[in-house]
Structure 1
Amino acid sequence: MTVAVKTGLWQLDAVRSAIAIKHLTVWGMVTVKGTFSGVTGEGEVQADGTARGTVTLDAASLDTKHTKRDEHLHGPDFFDVERHPTLVFAVRDASVRPDDTVEINGQLTVRGVSRPQAVTATVTESSADAITLTAEFIVDREHFGLGWNRLGMLRGLTTVTSTLRFTRTPA
């Protein structure tokens, strides 16, 4: 597939997009998985083919299928959704490569802490009016003030997977 993305404004299709996380807990014996149901985003493709934009997650929409754990993740030990209701990935530069990958450089903001984040996404579907990108990347939660770790139960890094579908905004 050769990607030819038109310049202009693009909107995230929240219904056809998904963002999930997974992290080892209980001393590496259990993998906790969760999904964010509240996701929005937009972007703009420039005349030179690069893109900028944002993807915003509603922190309170994280669902691990365990109510008590979700309440803890939403609370002050982790995402602190009362004070920091969103997680934001701001794309500063994204360029499509000949192999249908997209090199993305941006800034991830979690719990009010911003850090640079590079991601390589794969174009899994594209047309004149829609594009779908999939990616997987690693985040060190401690870099964002998410250091709670009772009895050393939480180890390692968090894996983020995403499928993001953008549709072209009519001119």
Structure 2
Amino acid sequence: MADAADTARTPVSPSAIAAGRWVLDPAGSTVRVRHKTFWGLATVSGEFTAVSGEGEVAADGSARGTLTIDAASLDTRNTQRDAHLRGADFLDTDQHPEIVVAISGAVPGEGAAVTVDGELTVLGRTRPLSFTARLTEATADAATLTADVDIDRTGFGMTWNRLGMMRGAAAMTVTTRFTRR
């Protein structure tokens, strides 16, 4: 019998996911963000604590769906910084309460890889989004995907950068756990 460490190393095949409708399990899903600041000397990390979503897997194993993030749920464990990030300089959550990832196609690749294409909407601006996710769990009733995605915040109009302190893209690690509806 394989132990937990062996199971974690064994690739999970996307073909193990049954066709049908799936719903996001918020308790098993996380959206974390990291961004270098202070001229690359420090990293600000946070997590969006409220996410929802759903998807549909076709008979051929391809999938589509939506992930909705409550922009005001960003928590960096610093109240003053969180208020600034939720304000007009960054997420402007009063005017744009949601960040939406609309997946138009998720296609199984080799091993546990899933090629994902869609659109990301932040601050009312929609941009194409493509990345590779890893299927880390696949059972008859649950599937978990994890992806690391770099997002250029300036492409969405977030250009605040006092004294040039913030450089480069924000790094996001997204883990989504879906359960069979």
What is the TM-score when the length of structure 2 is the normalising length? 0.91
What is aligned with 1:150? 162
Give the drift of 1:47.
Answer: 2.3
Moved over 4 A (4+): none
What is aligned with 1:106? 118
What is aligned with 2:54? 42
The within-5 A match list for 1:59-70 is 59-70=71-82
Give the drift of 1:98.
Answer: 3.2
Give the drift of 1:49.
Answer: 1.8
SS in 1 for 2:140: coil
CA contact (8 A) 2:71 2:97 kept: yes
Task: Tell me which of 22, 25, 28 is aligned to 1:10.
Answer: 22
SS in 2 for 1:52: strand
Structure 1, residues 104-149: CA drift from partner, whole Å, max 9, x if none?
A: 0010000101000101000111111110111101010000011100
What is the TM-score when the length of structure 1 is the normalising length? 0.96
SS in 2 for 1:47: coil
Residues 113-122 or 94-103, more deviating: 94-103
Aligned residues: 169
Identity, % of aligned positions: 51
Which structure 1 residue ranges, 5 or more long, are not aligned? none
What is aligned with 2:90? 78
SS in 2 for 1:165: strand
| 1:161 partnered with 2:173 | yes
CA distance in 1, matches of 2:50, 2:169: 23
CA distance in 1, matches of 2:159, 2:180: 39
Q: Which amino acid aligns with 1:27?
A: W
CA distance in 1, matches of 2:145, 2:89: 32
SS in 2 for 1:19: strand
What is aligned with 1:140? 152
CA contact (8 A) 2:87 2:93 kept: yes
Q: Which amino acid aligns with 1:109?
A: T
Give the drift of 1:27.
Answer: 1.1
